[in-house]
């Protein structure tokens, strides 16, 4: 609570009704400085190589739908070769137009990340948001039970 002193003959302290926001501003500025210093520390710049996974695979669907991106950037849905323009309609036929169906994306490990994201965006534009990446099982580590022989799938959102 603040007090003001009148200059004059009166010696009484008069109560000031204004709120002193200086301590509040000081705390906010200190927090701002802390976040400005901590923000660059939290970024990650690590090179990655993601061709295999040792995680347990997700349970398989009765009739999984595989979308394959080959090394020459050609597409296939199941065993049927598909061009990029017809991808949405062919996936619709394979899933029975059930947009909540999980699609399994198989891509050659030599394909650039940007091309895989192009395929993700194409599937997303057609309403398919549940896409799992398929990877080969990694070599088993000693003391760990081997995973089943089926490809491992990871769901991304």
Residues contacting residue 52 through CB under 8 Å, at least 6 positions apart? 135, 136, 137, 138, 139
Tens digits of residue pLDDT in 123-147? 999 999 999 888 877 665 555 555 5
Position 52 in a domain: no
Position 21 in a domain: no
Phi, psi (degrees; rounded to nearest 5) at 86:
-100, 5
Q: With CA atoms as reference, report the closest residue to 98 among 68, 121, 128.
A: 128
Position 12 in a domain: no
CATH number at residue 113: 3.30.420.270
Q: With CA atoms as reference, report the closest residue to 106 among 68, 72, 76, 80.
A: 68
**Residue 97's domain spans which residues?**
65-135
Structure confidence at residue 46 (pLDDT):
45
Position 29 in a domain: no
Interval 16-24 mean pLDDT = 87
On the question of pLDDT at 154 being above 80, the answer is: no
In this structure, what is the dihedral angle of CA atoms 104, 106, 83, 157, given to the nearest 10 degrees?
50
User: Which is higher by pLDDT, 52 or 1?
Assistant: 52
pLDDT category of residue 44 using cuts at 50, 70 and 90? very low
Position 110 in a domain: yes
Q: How many residues does the chain have?
A: 157
Structure confidence at residue 134 (pLDDT):
83
Position 144 in a domain: no
What value, to the nearest 5°, has the Cα angle with vertex 133 and ends 130 and 138?
150
On the question of pLDDT at 153 being above 80, the answer is: no
Count of domains observed in the chain: 1
Tens digits of residue pLDDT in 71-81? 899 898 988 88
Position 114 in a domain: yes
Residues contacting residue 156 through CB under 8 Å, at least 6 positions apart? 120, 131, 132, 133
Beta strands in 3-142 (DSSP E): 3-4, 14-15, 52-53, 65-69, 75-77, 80-82, 103-107, 131-137
Position 42 in a domain: no
């Amino acid at each position: 609570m603040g007090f003001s002193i009148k200059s004059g003959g009166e010696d009484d302290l008069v109560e000031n009704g204004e709120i002193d926001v200086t301590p509040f501003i000081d705390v906010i500025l200190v927090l701002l400085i802390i976040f400005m210093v901590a923000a660059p520390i939290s970024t990650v710049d690590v090179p990655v190589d993601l061709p295999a996974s040792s995680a347990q695979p997700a349970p398989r669907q009765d009739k999984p739908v595989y979308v394959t991106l080959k090394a020459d950037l050609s597409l296939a849905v199941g065993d049927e070769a598909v061009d990029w323009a017809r991808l949405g309609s062919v996936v619709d036929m394979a899933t029975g137009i059930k947009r909540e169906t999980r699609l399994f994306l198989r891509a050659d490990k030599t394909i650039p990340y940007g091309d895989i994201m192009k395929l993700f965006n194409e599937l997303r534009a057609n309403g398919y948001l549940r896409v799992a990446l398929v990877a080969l099982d990694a070599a088993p580590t000693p003391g760990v039970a081997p995973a089943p022989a089926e490809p491992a799938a990871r769901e991304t959102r």
